[in-house]
């Protein structure tokens, strides 16, 4: 029996289960391929952009350079946040009610969370597919076996030839569930490890930015390093 014959003879529950597995497989592969490309480019961007940042003479030049080099926007938000802190006005607001060190920490933390949210997008889908697809396939198997036994219950005698075909087709649903779940689980683990490495690099860079801005704020006027190509704010 080919796929079209099996689909035409299957009931609504079996067809719904198979369609749901197909949808889960397509969605997980789309996310997996997209994330592989994103993280591969992001790892290169982090290494290249952090090196370019520390070679720049000031924050403004570094921000301009990173706009062209940071293709996935993983380092630029941190630099933009640091640039905003360095050029912030002295208008009394709740953001400036805390001391400068706490303000720098909060701004960089928010920018880091924004970048990490972008890197971690799609991970929930892969985890969900990897954990639920085997059970969806098992549902199709149980329903297929139940349907086959119900169809044979009115017969006078039951032979292996009568039940081997329907039961074998039902077991294909289990194999389909595993075929959907295994790539999703492997992709989730591989992508999660890559995201953890990028996150560690970004956290280190955010810490260095915090130290840079803190030292610039606490240094005496004559010894303070330049953070802008123009006059100080």
Does the pLDDT value for residue 32 go beyond 90?
yes
The overall pTM is greater than 0.85: no
Average pLDDT, the chain: 81
Does the pLDDT value for residue 171 go beyond 70?
yes
Does the pLDDT value for residue 121 go beyond 80?
yes
Contact 83, 53 (CB under 8 A): no
Which one, of 53, 85, 86, lies nearest residue 69 by Cα? 53
Tens of pLDDT, residue by residue over 44-62, are: 989 888 888 888 888 888 8
> For residue 96, what pLDDT band results from cuts at 50, 70 and 90?
low
pLDDT at 218: 53
Contact 176, 136 (CB under 8 A): no
Q: Which two tokens stand for residue 4?
A: 């079209």
Domain boundaries, given as residue ranges, for the chain: 13-87+96-152+159-217
């Amino acid at each position: 029996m080919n796929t079209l014959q099996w689909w035409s003879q299957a009931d609504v529950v079996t067809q719904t289960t198979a369609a749901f597995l197909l949808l889960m497989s397509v969605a997980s592969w789309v996310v997996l391929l997209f994330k592989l490309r994103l993280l591969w480019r992001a790892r290169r961007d982090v290494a290249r952009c952090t090196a370019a940042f520390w070679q720049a003479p000031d924050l403004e030049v570094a921000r301009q350079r990173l706009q062209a080099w940071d293709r996935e926007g993983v380092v630029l938000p941190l630099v933009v946040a640091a640039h905003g802190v360095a050029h912030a006005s002295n208008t009394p607001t709740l953001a400036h009610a805390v001391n400068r060190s706490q303000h720098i920490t909060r701004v960089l933390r928010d920018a880091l969370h924004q970048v990490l949210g972008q890197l971690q997008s799609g991970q929930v889908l892969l985890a969900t597919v990897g954990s639920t697809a085997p059970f969806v396939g098992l549902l199709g198997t149980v329903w297929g076996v139940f349907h086959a036994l119900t169809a044979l219950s009115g017969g006078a005698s039951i032979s292996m030839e009568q039940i081997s075909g329907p039961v074998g087709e039902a077991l294909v649903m289990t194999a389909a569930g595993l075929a959907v779940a295994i790539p999703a689980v492997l992709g989730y683990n591989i992508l999660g490890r890559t995201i953890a490495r990028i996150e560690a690099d970004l956290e280190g860079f955010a810490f260095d930015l915090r130290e840079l801005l803190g030292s610039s704020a606490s240094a005496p006027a004559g010894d303070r390093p330049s953070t802008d190509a123009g006059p100080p704010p």
